[in-house]
A = this chain, B = another copy of it.
Amino acid sequence: MRCDILVVGAGILGLSSAYHLKAENPRKRVVVIERLRGPGEGNTAKSEAVFRNAFTSETNRVLASSSIEFFKHLEREGYNLRLAFTGYLWLLSQEQFEGVGDAIRDMQREGVRLTIYQREELERMIPRLATSFEGDEEAELLGLPPIDVGLLAHNCGCLRAEALTKAYESMFLKLGGEIHYRVEAKRLILGAVDELGLPGEPHVWQEPRVRGVETDRGVIEAETTVVAAGVWAGRLLEPIGFDPCMRPKKRQIFVLSDERLSVLFDIEGFNRHRVLPFTILPKCSLYLKAEPYEKSVWVGCSDEIGRAFELEDDPQPELEYYKDDIYPILMKYLPCFRDVRPVNMWAGQYAVNSFDGHPIVESIPGLIYVGAASGSGIMKSDALGRIVAALYAGREWAELFDGSRFRVSDLSIYRRRTERERFVI
């Protein structure tokens, strides 16, 4: 098979890229291949699926804000993404709050809508929230900071990852794009820009060019191959000597659904859904999402040192991780979780860019690689798809949905220009 553009991976980034590439190049044959049976069945489906615009780094802010605007647009166009602007709520100790004081002022100056709550207000608004643990030996052992301040970012929330992925799939198919599920890319085919028909090409004196992909169903030749394979990108890229600069790490989500948690779905003042916002506790960045449509709570925690970098094809959630690591913290701050057990749980993998945490969009002849440092894939998906399309077209700047412009090379590996995110708690 031959095509103009071959996209490897039908996760959120692959489909966003495929859609924008096809939209800009309607006459080109754009083909997506995916080893799984449907769109977004890899790590996209396993994501927490939340989004925020509250960042200090302009890179983060522009990529996320424009994507969020596009999500709203999609809902207006009739795609039901279950978009819910429940907000992000960081619960902070006074010390933590002071540590991010500059970052908060910078975000406000950049127009990020934030509200600050004092402890008493939080206690009034969130039923049974524990804000201090004086005399509680267990809490001391756990090293739990008190909650002195709440910081709410408004233009943030959650959506259905599956629905967003399917929206891109459907728009791409409508434009005449092709998707082949259950086709697995095995290796990239590397040739030379000027092939001579010699054995062993490309030689070091030739300019290498990716010519397509060998799949389990045969070879697909393409003018341009877009690798949007998430944590699996390395399996394709490393053999040709390209470092995706991201490493896979397991992340787990535990779903709780219980009458005792109903208090979290009847909270006034934060959002029109009357639910607890996506909330980040002051210990271990433990986070919980009150899913407003299903009335379930999704809980997760970013474990850094102590959680291996390794590629797993079928990562498994660990109930012990919930019981011994997450639950003790959760239950202290929010006693409504006492004795509530997960009704569902799963594990996916993050692609972690340890250097600066930002996405990567890079090209070499015949190849474009797009990788979103995880936690970012969904919330920046639309902007990244447009940046891939701009890179394909050879434009220096990508125009994003909200009209903002983004310099394509800023996400390059070799010509990178990103600012470190300072709002990390």
A residues with CB within 8 A of B: 141-144, 190, 196, 198, 200, 202-208, 238-243, 245, 247, 249, 283-284, 286, 301, 303-310, 320-321, 324-326, 328-329, 352, 354-355, 364, 413-414, 416
Contacts and interface: CB of A to CB of B under 8 A. Distances in A.
Nearest to A304: B241
Is chain A's interface secondary structure helix, strand, loop, or mixed overall? loop
Nearest to A202: B306
B245 A309 contact: no
Given A241-B307, A354-B414, 5 more contacts: A208-B306, A238-B247, A238-B309, A241-B303, A305-B364
Nearest to A318: B200
22 contacts: A141-B196, A190-B305, A200-B320, A200-B324, A204-B303, A204-B306, A204-B325, A204-B326, A205-B325, A238-B308, A239-B308, A240-B306, A241-B303, A241-B305, A242-B305, A242-B309, A243-B309, A245-B245, A245-B354, A354-B414, A355-B413, A355-B416
A39 B301 CA distance: 43
Given A241-B309, A305-B241, A306-B190, A284 B354 contact: no
A95 to B, nearest CB: 16
Contacts of A414: 354
Contact of A241 (B205, B306, B413): B306
A416 B416 CA distance: 14
Contacts of A208: 305-306
Given A238-B309, A243-B352, A283 B324 contact: no
Most buried by B among A240, A241, A324: A241
Contacts of A325: 203-205
Contacts of A354: 243, 245, 413-414
Nearest to A364: B305
Contacts of A142: 205
A242 B414 CA distance: 23
